Amino acid sequence: MEYIIFSIALLAVFNIKWVIFLVTLIPIRIVNIYLVAKEEKIILGKEQEKPSSYSLFIKKGIKQNIISLINGYMRYHIFQLGFIPSHRIRNFIYKYIYLIDMKSNVVIYFGAEIRAPYKLHIGDGSIIGDKSVLDARRGGIWIGDNVNLGSFVNLWTGQHDYNDPYFRSMPHKRGPIKIEDRVWIGPNVTILHSVTVGEGAVVAAGSVVTKNVEPYTLVGGIPAKKIGVRSRDLKYKFSGDHLPFY
């Protein structure tokens, strides 16, 4: 009898995070709707976005602590979402709870980490590799149609200013990332803020992209530089096929 009770208790503890996960879906959707509305006000110039301060240097009040808890749980929530072994469930929550602008046949593989998902736009048939990090917080990320991002790709729309007294992310250290149609980004690539990767371009594995990439060029290295060209006769379209459970 004690073994049965212990087993039930262990099962409950093991699954409690998923119970909380389900219960918080609607509140998280409401928060994201609010964040989208706030973002639209910033874009229209009705509000000014303030430089974010490094949290260790902020003396937080009760309101700031509550906001911090909400933000922290939402990041944890979407991180856990990346490990649900079902594309249909993941894509449904990405699109309708986190409000990612996702078109048809998008594949987001296992373990992807997405920050500020309401600022992420993914075109038809595009593939996001496993364990990728898409940080859209400081400018947004636009991914075109039939784009292929390899595993462990990192897209960073902002960075801290190491010369700033408070180590903030200042306006000149942030900006949108745009990846145009049929771009192929190899595994372990890092793309920094304010970069556009032109249509049909290829970024070699392990590269760090700090400047715009011209269409149909092959770039590689740290920092990435042009090392070749790609055919402009590209006709492929990704259908959304993916590995089950992954």
Residues 6+ apart with CB under 8 A from 104: 124, 125, 240
Q: Where are the alpha helices (DSSP H) in the chain?
A: 2-23, 25-43, 62-81, 87-96
Torsion of CA 9, 14, 19, 24, to 10 degrees: 130
Residue 35 CA to residue 87 CA, distance in Å, equals 25
Residue 111 CA to residue 169 CA, distance in Å, equals 26
Residues 6+ apart with CB under 8 A from 194: 139, 174, 175, 176, 177
| Structure tokens that stand for 152 in this block | 């462990």
CA distances from 126 to 104, 147, 148 (A): 9, 5, 6
Q: What are phi and psi of 219, to 5 degrees?
A: -125, 155
CA distances from 155 to 101, 147, 163, 197 (A): 17, 14, 23, 12
With b for 16 or more beta-carbon neighbours within 10 A and e for fewer, the 144-162 pattern comes to: bbbbbbbbbbbbbbbeebe
Give me the active site residues, please.
160
